[in-house]
Structure 1
Amino acid sequence: MQIKHTSYFKNPEQDAAWFKNWVARLEQANNKTYLSIEIETALGKTQAWGVNTRLKDAETLVIFPGARTTSLFWDLDNGLSNFGMPLKIYLVETNGLPNLSDGGTPDIKSADYGEWAAEVLDKLNIGRAYVAGASFGGLIAMKLCITHPQKVHAAFLLNPGCLQSFSLTIKNLYYNLLPILATSEKNVRIFLDNAVFCKPEHQLSLEAEQLLVDYEVFAISRYKDNTQKPYDMDKELLKVKTPTYLLQGTADILFPHQKSAAAAMAKISNLKEVKVFNNVGHGIETYAAAIAYTGAIIKRLR
């Protein structure tokens, strides 16, 4: 596997220490400890976090995060508890994102991310699993379903970034570029309030929101992001035969839900359901009802 781009923290040792402290803050807030798992892959070190990994007779769920996030966002406010059933959960930190994994990434338009995801499952001793991906993570899930469909029971795409191109509306560009061009807690909060959440229907507790804000300021200011961004997979999606569930928020301005739903229905032959949540922003992985819906589907399928 050829590494096409490499992203990196500006001060690797200091920034890794900050990230680990952030994880400790989340653990304290959630009153739980995540199992830290480091594996070697074709992209270098890949970090994963385990929850309930010692459960017997439980289904396995592998989660891939969105761009400029950590997979641990899924558990802000103990969000993983909303699955409503016992699951072995592996939160994978995709290489090339601001996390503890190495920064090397393959060509995003190749099949390599699918090969990497399959390697991650192998190294975690997972034969077959349910797979969920938010935004960028949805693209990873689809690549895995194309390259190694035998490894996936079903895929859950949450406001995925692979069904259409990133929206170029002035509103979307403004809110996404604001914290990048003028990084501050205030501007990060403006971005979150207008693109990620849709208050009051979709929001976090004050403590969890502060954790998210702190992470975003850190990720933008401390990480040199050279990773390619998600793209419209278009006809590649015709190769997906895995049962697929699409979850979308009506307030997602990054990837408007109507266009994504139309693309999924036209190109994913085994699309099982499209679930739309009113007044939910792009950060749908932090929305309790979306997680509960995913858990209910897994319970129905097991």
Structure 2
Amino acid sequence: MEIKRTSAFKDPVQDLQWFEDWVQQLQTANNRQYQRFSLQTSLGKTHVWGLHTEDETLETLVIFPGARTTPLFWDFDRNLDNLGQKLRIFLIETNGLPNPSDGKTPDIRSSGYGVWATEMLDQLKLEKPFVAGASFGGLICMKLALVSPERIKAVFLLNPGCLQPFSLSFKNLYYNLLPILAPGKKNVSKFLDQAVFCKPNHQLSEAAEKLIIDYELFAITRYQDKTQKPYDMGEELRQVKTDTYLLVGDQDLLFPYQKSVKNAKSRISNLKDVVVYENVGHGIETYDKAMQYIRQKIQRYQ
């Protein structure tokens, strides 16, 4: 596979140790340990976390995170418990994001991420799982659906970054650039409050909020991010034939929900359902009702 970009930590040894310490804090807060898998892929090493993976008779869900996040965000305040205990869960640390996976990435507009995701299904011996992706992760789900449609049962897109361009509204640009141009916990908190969450309906516990602020500041200041950002996949989406479900928050500044819904309905031929959550921001993967919805839909396939 042709490598387009390579991102990296400024001090890999020190920064990866910080990440390990952060994971330990999350495990302590959630009172559970995540299983670990290290895969060798076309993009180098790919790190995967797991929950309940031993029972191969269970339905399987594979999760891809958003940019400048880790899939462990999905489990703040044990949010993955809302999926029920009858699921094998694999959380993919996407290459090119600030995590233990290598920083090599393919051209975002190529089929590379779909090929890479297929390699992971092969190595994890997953025959036909469900897949879910938030923001950047939604684009990877669609790439996988294009490359290996026969390998997945259904796709769940959460405020995906593949249905429209990143919003250029003044408010969105201001709050996204604020912590990048002036890194600090106060500015990271402002970004999270205005773009990612929508208090009091959509928020984290105090302990989880501290974890996400620490991680975001770490990602901004310690990771040399050269990874291409998600794009509007446009006509490519017409080729997707996999069952697809769209979950969006009406307070998402990054990808305003009205346009995402409109484009999904016009481009995705097998769009099964659209859910718009009121007073929910971009970080919909942390919202309990979104996880409960995914659980209900998966149960209908059983």
Same fold (TM over 0.5): yes
1:129 aligns with 2:129: yes
Query: Shift of the alpha carbon at 1:56?
Result: 4.3
1:1-302 correspondence to structure 2 within 5 Å: 1-302=1-302
Deviations 1:172-203 (A, max 9, x none): 00000000000000000000000000000000
Helix, strand or coil at the partner of 1:98: coil
Letter of the 2:109 counterpart:
K
Question: In structure 2, the residue corresponding to 1:276 is in which secondary structure?
Answer: strand
- The normalised TM-score by structure 1 is 0.99
> Which amino acid in the other structure matches residue 20 of structure 2?
K
Measured in 1, the distance between the counterparts of 2:248 and 2:43 equals 30
**Is residue 85–residue 295 contact of structure 1 (8 Å, CA) maintained in 2?**
no
Q: Deviations over 1:62-95 (max 9, x none)?
A: 0000000000000000010011341000000000
Letter of the structure 2 residue corresponding to residue 168 of structure 1: L
Q: Give the whole-Å Cα distance in 1 for the aligned partners of 2:184 and 2:211.
A: 14
Instruction: For structure 2, list consecutive stretches of 5 or more residues without a partner in the other structure.
Output: none
Between 83-92 and 20-29, the greater mean CA deviation after superposition: 83-92
CA distance in 2, matches of 1:110, 1:84: 35
Aligned residues: 302
Task: Tell me how far apart the structure 1 counterparts of residues 161 and 294 of structure 2 sit (CA, whole Å).
Answer: 18
CA RMSD, Structure 1 to Structure 2 (Å):
0.6
CA distance in 2, matches of 1:285, 1:86: 19
Q: Counterpart of 1:238 in structure 2: which amino acid? A: R
SS at 2:153's partner residue? Answer: strand
Counterpart CA distance in 1 for 2:301 and 2:190 is 39
Structure 1 window deviating more from structure 2 (123-132 vs 158-167): it is 123-132
- 2:44 and 2:128 map into 1 onto residues whose CA distance is 23
Corresponding residue SS for 1:88: strand
Task: Give a deviation string over 1:231-266, Cα, whole Å, max 9, x none.
Answer: 000000001000000000000010000100000000
- Counterparts of 1:129 and 1:43 in 2: how far apart (Å)? 22
Q: Is the 8 A contact 1:64 1:137 kept in 2?
A: yes
The DSSP-based 3-state class of the residue aligned with 2:130 is: strand
Instruction: Using structure 2 for the length normalisation, give the TM-score.
Output: 0.99
CA contact (8 A) 1:248 1:275 kept: yes
Contact 1:84-1:296 at 8 Å conserved across structures? no
CA separation in 2, counterparts of 1:72 and 1:56?
Answer: 22
Distance 1:192 1:15 in 2: 23
Question: Aligned-pair distance for 1:57?
Answer: 2.2
Runs of at least 4 residues off by over 4 Å: none
Of all paired residues, the percent bearing the same amino acid is 61
Q: Distance in 1 between matches of 2:11 and 2:220?
A: 13
Gaps of 5+ in 1: none
Determine the C-alpha separation between the residues in 1 that align with 2:277 and 2:140. 23
CA distance in 1, matches of 2:189, 2:54: 38
Q: Which moved more, 1:80-89 or 1:103-112?
A: 80-89
> CA offset at residue 300 of structure 1?
1.2
In 2, the alpha carbon distance for the partners of 1:118 and 1:216 equals 29
Displacement after TM superposition at 1:127 (Å): 1.3
